[in-house]
């Protein structure tokens, strides 16, 4: 294995219908019009020296190192800023150019520390390379003149250092922050000799910087360097893999020394991220080798017993014997399992296979139940496929972007940067959210319409938008006539045109001014290509599925599905939520969303798996807890999912878990669920195994093993061993064989193989004979279900109501540095940004309650009570409070209720009636939790253990 170095073409690729042909150093070349001479030269393998140019950024022309000569033209233009023109004859290497370049390099080097041999960037420094390339051996001016060699270091950021003495003021970092990340945190302050890079008037940590690392990647010197590189030295080989955090699915090069990760560098050929990343994927990977990792299997008879380390064989055979004992006593359906949206497709497929084939029932569910199950239901019902319609690059063609119930800059940061680029180019923006998210107003981006709706009123809002479309003659009649079901459309049209659905009639419910809503609806319907992006603010409601169908109705009525730039796009939370759903993790569906009651499908699985399968759907997660409390569900296998922390109404969940006789937890850490477990099987991180993840665009990307599994087995091997112990052997030698089986049994995956993924980098399903290289855009020409189905979406307010006792509404979400529950990011330096969950509250609500910034407040609902610190914030509207659910001791899900989506049981996390009051102590639940945690585990709270 070697270190993968991608070619830097110096300037970005251009897309043009016309090409130009010219000659560079005597070699002919044809390129799209607008291509720089520098890029064209590199395409020929001719390297022109450069410092201020890199192909992720627009050319700047400041360093004057890339000069060339052009026949018939005076002077020596910069090749990075000069486009190649038809018939040009360019020379990149002449004595005159060599002299000029050497002079430029002399100036740079005379003001640069000459500590190359001890510099962290030695061997990976473009300044060093360029000095070599121009043949610089000495500096005529000496090194004693005025210089910046004493300029200080800024080491405030936990992940990278800024050493100003090494800065050549090329402004690549400033431009990366603007063009790639879209944060505009850096500037070049001062002029001439005094010019320097500044992160506002403060250090990096305190600045607007979001630690995406784009500047570090762009810096050609050691000025901006990862602390891990300073500490460990330069990497020596790399492995291309996929981020294990969010549903963007960024590709990375894991750069290594032996079996140790030195840094993660976003991969330029990654089709989801095009070489960009966020703080989590690039920097927050230390959890993978954190000291809290459990690397030995453990068992115990009672949850109050201390854990006992045992061999893999003993743990697996104990788990199998317990499951068999429970089934013998309580029946075949008394056990089940939960698959993980963090594990690979192959691992998820194996878990559901083990449950159906070895447990002999369909009691399998997934954590997607609690996030995007309404997406699957809603999009399948209306369009025919349980997934988003576009690839991320489609946003480049969008003229109107509507974001509903999502906060991309925090939860899907790399796609947010892509989206911001399109918005800076002039696309319009509509945001519907109870909270003033960053995108409402961020540097150079401002929403045309911000619709601050009250939590729980999504369906009223989308109906009102559709009402405007229908009653103002904005329906795309030709599209609807050609592509949609006439009868359902007419029924829907009649319903939606009723006055009770108008913006004026719904204003009192939604809180959104009717005039704004009308204007936003007109913009969506008439502004060109209109694309909807949405998140859990849509799905985690009692009408989550209804809202998804409401968005589909609106998009179909306006003709905004089935081409680039449009569509309905769920922003998936966890790395493999899409995949875990695709792989048959729901109790009623096999992989590829085929119902277990479909005889032909079931027979196909029975033939391949050589076992009889149940035709009845099994239990969903909430039903498993109910059945446990009733005494009929007694054993659970949970892979990579912390249900005790992430599921709503914690006290009900823990009552269900406590009632079970054997819980097998497979995870990296002793998570909250393991407090109730009897067998702990150590998991493997994404760095320790082969497999695939499927991101929010339906893109299947390879996960590749970079280091050996710390506990000896990858997760798929553990599941296979347990299945074998239960009497159903699984003999796979490599995850590629599991993918081959998935492809054999799943029509939308029929063309997927590891060989194809290695060849193409990634593919978007459906990938089969009809689409051998995958399907970036769905529903072109025709919906997957045939005719698009309109569904009447009656707004039914949730049963969770505010009252004099609980007058505020709590809604929950995620912030940039935190990933879901804290298992991973709470064990990284990301805790420097937020080491606890806080309650955001509007100044008016705070003042009415005598609450000041930082006060401890009690947050109580009909389900329970917890205590958090208050953060007074005008992001909130009066009457609505917000928090995250990262740290278990915050107990956010002690507060949330058991109300759920009518179709899928997805919990209503986003609407809980609460009261907030000053307090000076933790809640009873928090005190009880800490005691229980101490009694049932041997590690402290992850937040306290962060490094």
The binding site for ligand FES (CB under 6 A) comprises 50-53, 61-66, 78, 80
Look at residue 51 and give the partner it binds from ligand SF4, ligand FES, none, a contact being a CB closer than 5 to 8 Å depending on partner kind: ligand FES
Phi, psi of 923, deg, nearest 5:
-75, 165
894 binds ligand SF4 (CB under 6 A): no
Phi, psi of 509, deg, nearest 5:
-80, -45
Q: How far is the CB of 254 from ligand SF4 (least distance, A)?
A: 13
Give 169 or 739: the residue with its C-beta nearer to ligand FES.
169
How far apart are alpha carbons 560 and 565 in whole angstroms? Answer: 8
Q: How far is the CB of 342 from ligand SF4 (least distance, A)?
A: 12
278 binds ligand SF4 (CB under 6 A): yes
Touching ligand SF4, residues 444-473 (CB under 6 A): none
Look at residue 897 and give the partner it binds from ligand SF4, ligand FES, none, a contact being a CB closer than 5 to 8 Å depending on partner kind: none
Residues that contact ligand SF4, how many (by CB under 6 A): 41
Q: How far is the CB of 417 from ligand SF4 (least distance, A)?
A: 9
Whether the CB-CB separation of 236 and 257 falls below 8 Å is answered with yes
The DSSP string of 745-787 is H-GGGTT--HHHHHHHSEEESP-SSSSTT--SS--SSSBTTBS
170 binds ligand SF4 (CB under 6 A): yes
How far apart are alpha carbons 763 and 692 in whole angstroms? Answer: 11
Give 88 or 536: the residue with its C-beta nearer to ligand SF4.
536
Instruction: Output the 3-class SS for 870-908.
Output: EEECCCCCCCEEEECCCCHHHCHHHHCCCCECCCCCCEC
**Under the phi-then-psi rule, with left for phi > 0, alpha for psi from -120 to 50, and beta for the rest, what region is 184?**
left
Phi, psi of 369, deg, nearest 5:
-50, -40
Give 282 or 467: the residue with its C-beta nearer to ligand SF4.
282
Distances from the Cα of 638 to the Cαs of 11, 42, 338, 366, 790, in angstroms?
48, 51, 5, 9, 38
219 binds ligand SF4 (CB under 6 A): yes
Pattern 388-427, binding to ligand SF4, x per CB under 6 A? ------------------------xxx-------------
168 binds ligand SF4 (CB under 6 A): yes
Q: How far is the CB of 213 from ligand SF4 (least distance, A)?
A: 5
Q: How far is the CB of 268 from ligand FES (least distance, A)?
A: 18
Look at residue 177 and give the partner it binds from ligand SF4, ligand FES, none, a contact being a CB closer than 5 to 8 Å depending on partner kind: ligand SF4
Whether the CB-CB separation of 186 and 177 falls below 8 Å is answered with yes
Tracing tokens 């627009």 back to the chain, one arrives at 58
Whether the CB-CB separation of 595 and 589 falls below 8 Å is answered with yes
* Run of H or E including 107: helix 95-110
Instruction: Output the 3-class SS for 484-538.
Output: ECHHHHHHHHHHHCCHHHCHHHHHHHHCCCHHHHHHHHHHHHHCCCEEEEECHHH
Q: Exposure of 158 by Cβ count < 10 A (0-12 exposed, 13-18 middle, 19+ buried)?
A: buried
Touching ligand SF4, residues 247-276 (CB under 6 A): 248-250, 273
922 binds ligand SF4 (CB under 6 A): no
121 binds ligand SF4 (CB under 6 A): no
Tracing tokens 């496929």 back to the chain, one arrives at 385
Give 108 or 909: the residue with its C-beta nearer to ligand SF4.
108
245 binds ligand SF4 (CB under 6 A): yes
Pattern 279-318, binding to ligand SF4, x per CB under 6 A? -xx-------------------------------------
Tracing tokens 């569906």 back to the chain, one arrives at 589
Q: How far is the CB of 438 from ligand SF4 (least distance, A)?
A: 13
80 binds ligand SF4 (CB under 6 A): no
Residues 6+ apart with CB under 8 A from 604: 745
Give 64 or 227: the residue with its C-beta nearer to ligand FES.
64
- Asked if omega into 927 is within 30° of 0 (cis), the reply is no
Look at residue 223 and give the partner it binds from ligand FES, ligand SF4, none, a contact being a CB closer than 5 to 8 Å depending on partner kind: ligand SF4
Touching ligand SF4, residues 186-215 (CB under 6 A): 186, 197, 209-215
Give 62 or 896: the residue with its C-beta nearer to ligand SF4.
62
Question: Angle between the 514-526 and 458-471 helix axes, to the nearest 10 degrees?
Answer: 60
Distances from the Cα of 641 to the Cαs of 151, 281, 379, 669, 898, in angstroms?
48, 19, 25, 11, 19
Count Cβ neighbours within 10 Å for each residue of 471-505 and write b for 16 or more, e otherwise. beebbbeebbeebbbeebbeebbebbeeeebbbeb
Look at residue 277 and give the partner it binds from ligand FES, ligand SF4, none, a contact being a CB closer than 5 to 8 Å depending on partner kind: ligand SF4
Give 212 or 358: the residue with its C-beta nearer to ligand SF4.
212
Look at residue 248 and give the partner it binds from ligand FES, ligand SF4, none, a contact being a CB closer than 5 to 8 Å depending on partner kind: ligand SF4
Whether the CB-CB separation of 807 and 879 falls below 8 Å is answered with yes
169 binds ligand SF4 (CB under 6 A): yes
183 binds ligand SF4 (CB under 6 A): yes
Q: How far is the CB of 171 from ligand SF4 (least distance, A)?
A: 5
CA-based end-to-end distance of the chain: 31
Q: How far is the CB of 177 from ligand SF4 (least distance, A)?
A: 3
Residues 6+ apart with CB under 8 A from 271: 251, 391, 393, 699, 761, 762
Give 62 or 506: the residue with its C-beta nearer to ligand FES.
62
Q: With CB under 6 A as the contact rule, which of the stretches 217-225, 370-378, 754-762, 784-792 interacts with ligand SF4?
A: 217-225
Whether the CB-CB separation of 259 and 193 falls below 8 Å is answered with no
Give 556 or 700: the residue with its C-beta nearer to ligand SF4.
700
49 binds ligand SF4 (CB under 6 A): no
Distances from the Cα of 935 to the Cαs of 295, 674, 679, 940, in angstroms?
21, 12, 16, 11
Among 11, 161, 223, 746, binds ligand SF4 (CB under 6 A): 223
Q: How far is the CB of 280 from ligand SF4 (least distance, A)?
A: 4
Give 186 or 557: the residue with its C-beta nearer to ligand SF4.
186
571 binds ligand SF4 (CB under 6 A): no
Site of interaction with ligand SF4 (CB under 6 A): 167-173, 176-177, 181, 183, 185-186, 197, 209-215, 218-221, 223-224, 243, 245-246, 248-250, 273, 277-278, 280-281, 412-414
């Amino acid at each position: 294995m070697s270190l993968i170095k991608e070619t830097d073409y110096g300037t970005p690729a251009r897309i043009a219908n016309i090409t130009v042909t010219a000659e560079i150093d005597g070699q002919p070349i044809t390129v799209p019009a607008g291509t720089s001479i520098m890029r064209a030269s590199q395409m020929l393998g001719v390297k022109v020296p450069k410092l201020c140019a890199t192909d992720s950024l627009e050319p700047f022309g400041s360093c004057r190192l890339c000069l060339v000569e052009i026949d018939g033209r005076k002077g020596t233009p910069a090749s990075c800023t000069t486009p190649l023109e038809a018939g040009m004859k360019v020379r990149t290497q002449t004595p005159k150019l060599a002299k000029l370049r050497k002079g430029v390099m002399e100036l740079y080097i005379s003001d640069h520390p000459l500590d190359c041999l001890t510099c962290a960037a030695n061997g990976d420094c473009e300044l060093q390379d360029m000095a070599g390339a121009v043949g610089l051996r000495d500096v005529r001016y000496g090194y004693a003149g005025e210089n910046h060699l004493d300029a200080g270091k800024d080491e405030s950021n936990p992940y990278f250092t800024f050493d100003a003495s090494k800065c050549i003021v090329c402004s690549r970092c400033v431009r990366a922050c603007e063009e790639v990340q879209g944060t505009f945190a850096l500037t070049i302050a001062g002029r001439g000799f005094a010019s320097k890079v500044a992160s506002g008037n403060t250090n990096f940590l305190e600045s607007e910087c979001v630690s995406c690392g784009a500047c570090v990647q762009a810096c050609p010197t050691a000025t901006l360097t990862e602390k891990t590189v300073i500490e460990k030295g330069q990497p020596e080989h790399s492995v291309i893999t996929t981020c294990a955090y969010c549903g963007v699915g960024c590709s990375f090069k894991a750069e290594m020394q032996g079996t140790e990760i030195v840094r993660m560098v976003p991969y330029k050929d990654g089709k989801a991220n095009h070489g960009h990343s966020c703080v989590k994927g690039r920097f927050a990977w230390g959890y993978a080798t954190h000291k809290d990792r459990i690397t030995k299997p453990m068992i115990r008879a009672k949850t109050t017993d201390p854990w006992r380390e045992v061999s893999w064989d003993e743990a697996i055979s104990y788990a199998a014997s317990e499951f068999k004992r429970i089934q013998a006593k309580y029946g075949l359906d008394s056990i089940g399992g939960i698959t993980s949206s963090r594990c690979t497709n192959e691992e998820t497929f194996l878990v559901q296979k083990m449950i159906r084939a070895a447990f002999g029932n369909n009691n399998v569910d997934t954590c997607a139940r609690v996030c995007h199950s309404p997406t699957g239901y809603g999009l399948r019902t209306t369009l025919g496929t349980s997934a988003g319609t576009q690839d991320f690059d489609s946003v480049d063609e969008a003229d109107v972007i509507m974001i509903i119930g999502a906060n991309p800059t925090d939860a899907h940061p790399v796609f947010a940067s892509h989206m911001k680029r399109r918005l800076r180019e002039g696309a319009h923006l509509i945001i519907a959210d109870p909270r003033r998210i960053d995108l409402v107003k961020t540097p150079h981006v401002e929403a045309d319409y911000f619709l601050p709706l009250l939590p729980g009123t999504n369906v009223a809002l989308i109906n009102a938008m559709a009402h405007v479309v229908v009653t103002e003659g904005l329906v795309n009649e030709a599209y609807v006539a050609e592509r949609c079901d006439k009868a359902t459309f007419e029924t829907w049209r009649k319903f939606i045109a009723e006055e009770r659905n108008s913006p004026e009639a719904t204003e009192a419910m939604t809180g959104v001014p009717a005039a704004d809503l009308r204007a936003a609806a007109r913009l969506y319907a008439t502004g060109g290509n209109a694309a909807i992006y949405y998140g859990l603010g849509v799905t985690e409601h009692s009408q989550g599925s209804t809202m998804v169908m409401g968005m589909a109705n609106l998009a179909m009525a306006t003709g905004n599905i089935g081409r680039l730039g449009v569509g309905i796009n769920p922003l998936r939370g966890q790395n493999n939520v899409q995949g875990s759903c695709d792989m048959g993790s729901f109790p009623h569906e096999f992989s590829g969303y085929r119902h277990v009651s479909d005889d032909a499908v079931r027979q196909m699985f029975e033939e391949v798996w050589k076992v009889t399968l149940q035709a009845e759907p099994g239990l969903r997660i909430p039903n498993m807890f109910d059945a446990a409390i009733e005494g009929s569900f007694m054993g659970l296998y949970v892979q990579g999912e912390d249900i005790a922390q992430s599921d709503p109404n914690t006290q009900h969940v823990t009552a269900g878990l406590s009632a079970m006789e054997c819980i097998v937890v497979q995870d990296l850490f002793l998570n909250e669920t393991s407090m109730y477990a009897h067998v702990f099987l150590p998991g493997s991180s994404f760095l320790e195994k082969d497999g695939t993840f499927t991101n929010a665009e339906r893109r299947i990307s390879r996960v590749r093993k970079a280091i050996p599994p710390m506990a000896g087995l990858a997760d798929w091997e553990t599941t296979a061993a347990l299945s074998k112990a239960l009497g159903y052997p699984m003999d796979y030698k490599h995850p590629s064989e599991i993918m081959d089986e998935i492809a054999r049994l799943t029509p939308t995956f029929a063309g997927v193989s590891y060989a194809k993924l290695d060849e193409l980098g990634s593919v978007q399903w459906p990938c089969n004979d009809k689409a051998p290289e995958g399907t970036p855009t769905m529903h072109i020409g025709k919906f997957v279900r045939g005719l698009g189905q309109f569904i009447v979406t009656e707004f039914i307010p949730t049963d969770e109501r505010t009252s004099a006792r609980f007058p505020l509404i709590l809604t929950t979400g995620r912030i940039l540095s935190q990933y879901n529950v804290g298992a991973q990011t709470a064990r990284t330096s990301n805790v420097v940004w937020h080491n606890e969950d806080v309650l955001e509250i509007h100044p008016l609500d705070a003042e009415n309650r005598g609450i000041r910034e930082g006060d401890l407040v009690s947050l109580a609902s009909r389900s329970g009570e917890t205590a958090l610190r208050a953060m007074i914030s005008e992001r909130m509207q009066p009457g609505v409070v917000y928090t995250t659910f990262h740290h278990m001791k915050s107990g956010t899900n002690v507060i949330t209720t058991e109300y759920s989506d009518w179709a899928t049981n997805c919990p209503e996390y986003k609407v809980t009636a609460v009261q907030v009051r000053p307090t000076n102590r933790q809640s009873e639940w928090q005190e009880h939790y800490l005691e229980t945690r101490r009694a049932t585990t041997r590690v402290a709270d992850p937040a306290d253990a962060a490094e």
